[in-house]
Structure 1
Amino acid sequence: MLRFGTVGSIGVVVDTVVLYAALALGAGLYGGRVLSYLTAATGNWLLNRIWTFRTAAHAPAGRQWLRFLAVNGLGFFINYGVYVLLVSNIPAFTTRPVLGVVAGALAGMVVNFVLNRRLVFQGKAKLEANKP
């Protein structure tokens, strides 16, 4: 969980940097956040694959990345929902969207960890059992 949290923290930094870059280019608070989340999620998948869950058997990269995005869909809706709720209702979050990014990331982290450990980065025996 500590490694997953560390990767998630790096993801929050990536998410924030991409969001602010997207805002500077006129993407807006909501569209910019979708772009920043997808960028951060891709980085998180890669770091989790090579570091957090390095001892797990790995499905082919493309398939695993798609599964990672699908599994993290629930976490994304929690994350993005908290972000939208905060930036649309609290002026401090509207002017400092990084606060919404952090709050959303924390809200989705536990759900994402449990789902990733069980469905994306499976142990070797479980992955072998799931092969056709």
Structure 2
Amino acid sequence: MRRQILHFFLAGCIGFVVDAGGVQLLVSVFDANPYLARLLSFLCAANATWLYNRSVTFVGRGSFALVGEWTRWMLAMSAGFALNYVTYAALVFHFPTVRAWPVLGVAAGSTLGAIANFLSAHHWVYGGPANGLKSRP
């Protein structure tokens, strides 16, 4: 369990870089709407964390059906993202500094979302018994 938490945290760091970097790039360079940009950056981050977690954190657990596992992952991460996004949107709406630097809002919402995401990944997406495999195809 400690190993899973550590690797889930590392995956979350990767996801944070993808999410925060993506939203900041879209807002700063492309003048994108910060609310819509966040939805796109979340999708990119969720895919990045899924790839890491299925390959490292939860290797040998869960389903081998790639599309089914990805679908469960995206649904599970959406619950954590809802908590994360509400925090982000409120900060962007109320604080001009966060509107200009949305990475700050991403950081604030990430802690709430991370807890929900780990619990749903551990118990639902990869909640099956370990199958003893060291790696996946």
Give the TM-score category using the shorter length.
0.7 to 0.9
Scaled by the length of structure 1, the TM-score of the pair is 0.88
1:50 maps to amino acid: S
Task: Verify: 1:28 aligned to 2:33, yes or no.
Answer: yes
Structure 1 runs not aligned, ≥5 long: 127-132
| Alpha-carbon displacement from aligned partner over 1:69-100 (angstroms, at most 9, x marks no partner) | 11122111101101001111122212221111
Residue in 2 that maps onto 1:8: 12
Name the CA distance, whole Å, in 2 between partners of 1:63 and 1:123.
14
What root-mean-square deviation, in Å, do the aligned CA atoms of Structure 1 and Structure 2 show? 1.6
Residue in 1 that maps onto 2:23: 19
Task: Verify: 1:99 aligned to 2:101, yes or no.
Answer: no
Runs of 4+ in structure 1 deviating by more than 3 angstroms, as ranges, are: none
SS state at 1:72 partner: helix
Task: Among all aligned residue pairs of Structure 1 and Structure 2, give the percentage whose two residues are the same amino acid.
Answer: 36
Tell me the CA shift for residue 125 of structure 1. 6.3
Name the CA distance, whole Å, in 2 between partners of 1:125 and 1:105.
28
Scaled by the length of structure 2, the TM-score of the pair is 0.85
Tell me the CA shift for residue 59 of structure 1. 3.2
Q: Aligned pair in 2 of structure 1 residues 34, 6: CA closer, same or farther (>3 Å)?
A: same
Task: Verify: 1:65 aligned to 2:70, yes or no.
Answer: yes
**Per chain length, whose mean CA-contact separation is higher, i.e. which structure has more relative contact order (CA < 8 Å, sep 6+)?**
2
Structure 2 runs not aligned, ≥5 long: 132-137
Name the CA distance, whole Å, in 2 between partners of 1:6 and 1:35.
21
Residue in 2 that maps onto 1:49: 54
Name the CA distance, whole Å, in 2 between partners of 1:57 and 1:30.
33
2:31 maps to amino acid: G
